[in-house]
Structure 1
């Protein structure tokens, strides 16, 4: 028993000796730093406490810095041009504050902040090209680290459906509370298609309800816009005096824009094509690969002028400016019901044709951003008054340069009102993937013979059609034009086919 105990103590002694040697070896390794130790501990204890407190305060006052990335705008857009910065480094921003405006080849987009914080860095200069998924700015946030994790999730293209919460297609504020977004989602409404009436364009519950009412046929007052008037006879002196004495309730017309004085620079200037100009290059290059054929005719709008004059005051009482274009668009839709091949599209190899169920009729507009073609959706389901209301909205957005992707995409047939500028005839170019387009000239008062061979004053408008000759023959285009012309020359005949 004593031998066993003696052996156990011997083993324990060896283990303790090994641990002692290890500790000694560690101390020898750090012996070279022994001279530094007194320097460290000579610091005043009060200074140490002050330094630690100051460091702690700095950490608390500086929030996490988030790289705010350019999220997926949609439509396959991978790069945009930075048109304008609304902030600079050091500026304090809040949620939904505008950060910058970017422009793709399809639309202008205003990027808004997701966070409350301070701008620390701008990644791009004005007119520089920004890439989707790359940082736009660094923001020192006032939030916790959980916000950074959320940023990495929300800003990915897979979550593009959430982009309308923090981005806005220019002219369509998409600032909305979760309750409003839920209401829009339940009714399958895109926030980008709703114009907000709240503060800073915030979308309210009432805006969603009004949008639903419009979809079901209710008439809502839109934003008024100036329209092109047809030439008319000069008023008699008595009538002019009466009109002067009578109070006018219509808004005063804006003075015509002044033409800037030309400046001779004296040197060549080269600049890259960007935005809508770049998009036009692609579109027109593809368009002119289509074999076009043209067809022209003239339309007597004398009866339509009288009908519109009768209905104009009724429309204004409902807050709608009624021009001739809603009649042109509705007549085209009625004609497309009889000739659906004109409301179709073909694939790139022209091997398949798709007949479109919706009549999304576009209107070519001359805007400050160039030629844009917004379209009125589902014209086959709309009345003339509803079409006029939607045109009012598109005209107002176009004049303000605020047309978004929702208005510019999805067209199936196009009318170009070249007469609003002053043309009579033109050769319109088809807008792919559409297969037909019409161009309307200005309305002129010209002498014509009536049924009794008497010379009368007539309101004449010329129309020029272009069609894809690969799938549309001249006879089809002619028959469609004759039907469209019949509806306009005899507006009462439209009543038989209206739904």
Structure 2
């Protein structure tokens, strides 16, 4: 009897030690203690089964702790800067709740929760550098251990290929994240009926939303980018801006001016985010032989036209500036000079003529210089371009520009006149081959056709082109055509589509 008692006590001690080790190392699965060596005593087996049920109940009630890792954001990004935490230790979160905002050298991204649970640990402070593949937070989940085994991922704009689940449908694999699959299931949508726009045909959240909009007849606003969501504090404002792409002048606030308090000591800090991206981009641009060309444009007729259309545009909720006309005129000019809407490879051995006119606008924001672009300008009207510009400016002011807005540009305009400049020497953004800098509009005296001095609205423009593939005559002819469209805006009507 004493031997049986000692054996039972030994088994119980072994079980307690095993439970302690499992909790310390935060294992996600609980292996039954039946994997221990078989016991010969009946009383030992009963004690083992009782202890197994007790420990299993304890773990199920508390839930396993999951290390929530930063997944591959794509484009070779290996590190990001944590800009803001939306949770703290002890907070309860649900799926799709925002956890934090991170910033790479490409864009700002809001990370959302994959699980329901409680935040147990934050691994980084604000402004710290987080590495891809390393934990961001620990979450004590409320789901069973079997559910946790599906995937340990975060919702980022681009998911690593191995982090996607697959589903066999009609002989081929449909790729989508569990969050996207849940969204499809909640709306009774078959993934086999949705066309994926992600890499390798991957179905994104915006694909589900667009499919749902087509089924219900709803009109969805332009989305930011795949899984990017606005942070909780700005959610109402961002939702309003998305539902109403146009923004009134009152909603567009100038970016704050960064101020430094000088204490008499030198301060050294690492370059991060967009400043680090600028170092990389401008270093690559230095390898391009720039050709410069400047001219002036008389915008007197365009000023009159814009004054007539301004009130009509604002009645539709869209602020109309001169920039939509500049962008549309550039697109019409690119139809005649497609080499300016091209890109070259790193060795300048091949040139690619771009079908879409994705015209970028250099934007001064609190985060630094950003260049979002208006997609497919060749298919848009001036009013539609103004709508998109309003959206990009609102997001830029709020620091919520997505990677989709900042990538894919084919031609760029920089509006230095908004700050007060006239002439500039703009730097080409590789792999683009041309860029223009637009100065401020000034009222200056000029001679008319009759030789009389008149009051004219004059604007300077400065062009830079990649002289390896673009000669001066081509740049000059393009500039003259662009100038003709702006000085005689009625001529644009003949070429508008």
- Structure 1 Cα separation of the partners of residues 455 and 178 of structure 2: 53
Tell me if structure 1 keeps the 8 A contact 2:69–2:153: no
- Structure 2 Cα separation of the partners of residues 193 and 332 of structure 1: 33
Any idea what SS the aligned residue of 1:130 has? strand
Q: 1:273 aligns with which of 271, 274, 289?
A: 271
Tell me if structure 2 keeps the 8 A contact 1:303–1:490: yes
Tell me if structure 2 keeps the 8 A contact 1:180–1:205: no
Q: Does 1:427 align with 2:425?
A: yes
Alpha carbons of structure 1 residues 278 and 153: separation in structure 2 relative to 1, 3 Å: closer
Deviation at 1:212, TM superposition (A): 8.3
2:482 match? 484
2:99 match? 99
- Alignment RMSD (CA, Å): 3.7
1:475 match? 473
Deviation at 1:34, TM superposition (A): 8.1
Deviation at 1:151, TM superposition (A): 1.6
Tell me if structure 2 keeps the 8 A contact 1:221–1:318: no
Q: How does 1:317-332 map to 2 (within 5 A)?
A: 317-332=315-330
Tell me if structure 2 keeps the 8 A contact 1:96–1:175: no
Any idea what SS the aligned residue of 1:442 has? strand
1:234 match? none
Any idea what SS the aligned residue of 2:437 has? strand
Q: How does 1:440-451 map to 2 (within 5 A)?
A: 440-451=438-449
Q: Does 1:376 align with 2:385?
A: no
Alpha carbons of structure 1 residues 485 and 183: separation in structure 2 relative to 1, 3 Å: farther
Deviation at 1:76, TM superposition (A): 2.5
1:362 match? 360
Q: How does 1:100-179 map to 2 (within 5 A)?
A: 100-152=100-152, 156-159=160-163, 162=176, 165=179, 178-179=186-187
Structure 1, unpaired ranges of 5+:
1-26, 42-47, 167-173, 198-202, 215-219, 227-251
Q: How does 1:236-385 map to 2 (within 5 A)?
A: 252=250, 263-385=261-383
Deviation at 1:164, TM superposition (A): 9.9
Deviation at 1:37, TM superposition (A): 6.6
Deviation at 1:370, TM superposition (A): 0.3
2:171 match? none
TM-score (structure 2 length as normaliser): 0.76
1:223 match? 246
Structure 2, unpaired ranges of 5+:
12-46, 165-174, 224-242
Alpha carbons of structure 1 residues 213 and 467: separation in structure 2 relative to 1, 3 Å: closer
Alpha carbons of structure 1 residues 109 and 440: separation in structure 2 relative to 1, 3 Å: same
Deviation at 1:132, TM superposition (A): 2.1
Tell me if structure 1 keeps the 8 A contact 2:151–2:163: no
Deviation at 1:356, TM superposition (A): 0.6
Deviation at 1:224, TM superposition (A): 0.7
Tell me if structure 1 keeps the 8 A contact 2:292–2:464: yes
Tell me if structure 1 keeps the 8 A contact 2:310–2:319: yes
- Structure 1 Cα separation of the partners of residues 75 and 127 of structure 2: 21
- Structure 1 Cα separation of the partners of residues 399 and 286 of structure 2: 27
Tell me if structure 1 keeps the 8 A contact 2:196–2:204: no
Any idea what SS the aligned residue of 1:286 has? helix
TM-score (structure 1 length as normaliser): 0.75
Q: 2:458 aligns with which of 456, 460, 476?
A: 460
Any idea what SS the aligned residue of 2:219 has? helix
Alpha carbons of structure 1 residues 316 and 39: separation in structure 2 relative to 1, 3 Å: closer
Alpha carbons of structure 1 residues 416 and 192: separation in structure 2 relative to 1, 3 Å: farther
Alpha carbons of structure 1 residues 64 and 469: separation in structure 2 relative to 1, 3 Å: same
Note the alpha carbon deviations across 1:391-422, whole angstroms, 9 max, x for none: 11101101111101000000000000000011
Deviation at 1:89, TM superposition (A): 2.2
2:437 match? 439
Q: Once structures 1 and 2 are overlaid, which stretch shifts more, 86-95 or 458-467?
A: 86-95
- Structure 2 Cα separation of the partners of residues 163 and 35 of structure 1: 52
Any idea what SS the aligned residue of 1:151 has? coil
Any idea what SS the aligned residue of 2:460 has? strand
Deviation at 1:337, TM superposition (A): 0.5
Deviation at 1:431, TM superposition (A): 0.3
Any idea what SS the aligned residue of 2:355 has? coil
